């Protein structure tokens, strides 16, 4: 078996707040192969974005990050001597959730791409502009020479997202993390952006992590999917295997709440209840109080991810 590009073992993240310690991630472990697209799915508050920020080293000083190991390309990213700052933006890049807030509103988009290239890429001042225009052309922005001089407010949401993708890919990273890259875009633009990302990933053979609340979207574009709920990994499987069997009640609930081309409005169902308060004591199954299939033993003893076969695992005492 080949060595994975990214390996995460027992990652936990908590935040110190005035109202107590908030445990946002608990013992998250996974690996990502070269050229693989991994989907991380869950509703808002499940810990998806915190996971991506922890991998990028972008959490603030109130965060307490613990992990047995986080290795990227054989490099240890845990500890005080981590080289993360030197490889972030070059080997490890990210597309943020809202391009309009991530881009500098008073700086031309071409200049923003130039800044990334000059800091992380093998370009000089004299050829940085040409490289930035080439990056815009790579993400299929029409008339890239003119768009180079545009400010973010002069571009549509879809165009701003393409600029973000161009910026993230400008230094040919080995791993791209896309945090809700279709947020705020209409359905047609969402499909265009996702198709573009898929094509670029295939062309460059880079690995990618897609963070989304849309299980159907992850099933269409990802090789493997991890389902998160309240900081726990509750299910992990290849995309085909997961769609053939939703073993965790939460995963089934997510699918029932996701509209598709074949879904009627009356067929959509919401997941009852709310995410648990991540302060204080939590039950072994953090979905317990929302689950209509719960049993008394679901509240007793730790529940680990258990294998179901076909590289499919689930954190549930009574899987479906």
Q: Dump the DSSP string for 25-90.
A: EEEEEEEE-TT-EEEEE--TTSSHHHHHHHHHT---TTEEEE-SEEEETTEE--STT--HHHHBTT
Strand partners, 15: 22, 63
- pLDDT of 166 reads 93
pLDDT < 70 stretches in the chain? 1, 80-81, 260-267
Q: How far is CA 36 from CA 6, 60, 130, 135, 172, in A?
A: 11, 29, 30, 23, 16
Handedness of CA 138, 143, 149, 153 (dihedral sign): negative
Q: Dump the DSSP string for the chain.
A: -PPPSEEEEEEEEEEEETTEEEEEEEEEEEEE-TT-EEEEE--TTSSHHHHHHHHHT---TTEEEE-SEEEETTEE--STT--HHHHBTTTEEEE-S-HHHHS-TTS-HHHHHHHHHHHHSS--TTTHHHHHHHHHHHTT-SSHHHHTT--GGGS-HHHHHHHHHHHHHTT--SEEEEESTTTT--HHHHHHHHHHHHHHHHHHT-EEEEEES-HHHHHHH-SEEEEEETTEEEEEEEHHHHHH---SHHHHHHHHTS--TT--GGG--PPPS-PPPSSS---SSTTGGG-TT--GGGGSS----EEEETTEEE--SS--
The CA distance from 158 to 259, in Å, is 22
Q: Is-contact 112 103, C-beta < 8 A? A: yes
Residue with tokens 């994975």: 4
- pLDDT of 232 reads 96
- pLDDT of 261 reads 63
Tell me the pairing of strands 312-314 and 232-238.
antiparallel
Domains in the chain, CATH or no CATH each = 6-91+173-314 (3.40.50.300), 99-172 (no CATH)
């Amino acid at each position: 078996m080949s060595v994975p590009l990214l390996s995460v073992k027992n990652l936990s993240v908590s935040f110190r707040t005035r109202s107590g310690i908030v445990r946002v991630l608990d013992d998250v472990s996974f690996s990502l192969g070269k050229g693989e697209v991994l989907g991380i799915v869950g509703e808002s508050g499940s810990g998806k974005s915190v996971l991506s920020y922890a991998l990028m080293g972008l959490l603030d000083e109130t965060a307490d990050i613990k992990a047995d190991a986080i290795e990227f390309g054989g490099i240890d990213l845990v500890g005080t001597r981590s080289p993360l700052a030197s490889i972030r933006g070059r080997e490890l890049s990210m597309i943020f959730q809202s391009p309009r807030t991530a881009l500098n509103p008073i700086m031309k988009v071409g200049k923003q791409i130039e800044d990334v290239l000059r800091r992380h890429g093998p370009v000089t001042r004299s050829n940085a502009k040409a490289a930035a225009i080439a990056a815009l052309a790579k993400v299929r922005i029409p008339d890239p020479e003119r768009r180079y001089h545009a400010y973010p407010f002069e571009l549509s949401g879809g165009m701003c997202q393409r600029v973000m993708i161009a910026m993230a890919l400008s230094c040919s990273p080995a791993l791209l993390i896309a945090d809700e890259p279709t947020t705020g875009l209409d359905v047609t633009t969402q499909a265009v952006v996702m198709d573009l990302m898929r094509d670029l990933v295939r062309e460059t053979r880079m690995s990618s992590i897609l963070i989304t609340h849309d299980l159907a979207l992850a099933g269409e574009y990802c090789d493997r999917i991890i389902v998160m709920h309240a900081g726990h990994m509750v299910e992990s499987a290849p995309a085909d295997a997961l769609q053939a069997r939703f073993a965790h009640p939460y995963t089934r609930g997510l699918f029932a709440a996701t509209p598709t081309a074949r879904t009627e409005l009356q067929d959509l169902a919401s997941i009852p209840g709310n995410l648990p308060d991540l302060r204080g004591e939590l039950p072994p199954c953090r979905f317990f109080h929302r689950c209509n299939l719960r049993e008394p033993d679901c509240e007793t003893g730790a529940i680990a991810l258990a294998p179901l076969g076909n590289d499919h695992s689930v954190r549930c005492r009574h899987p479906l």
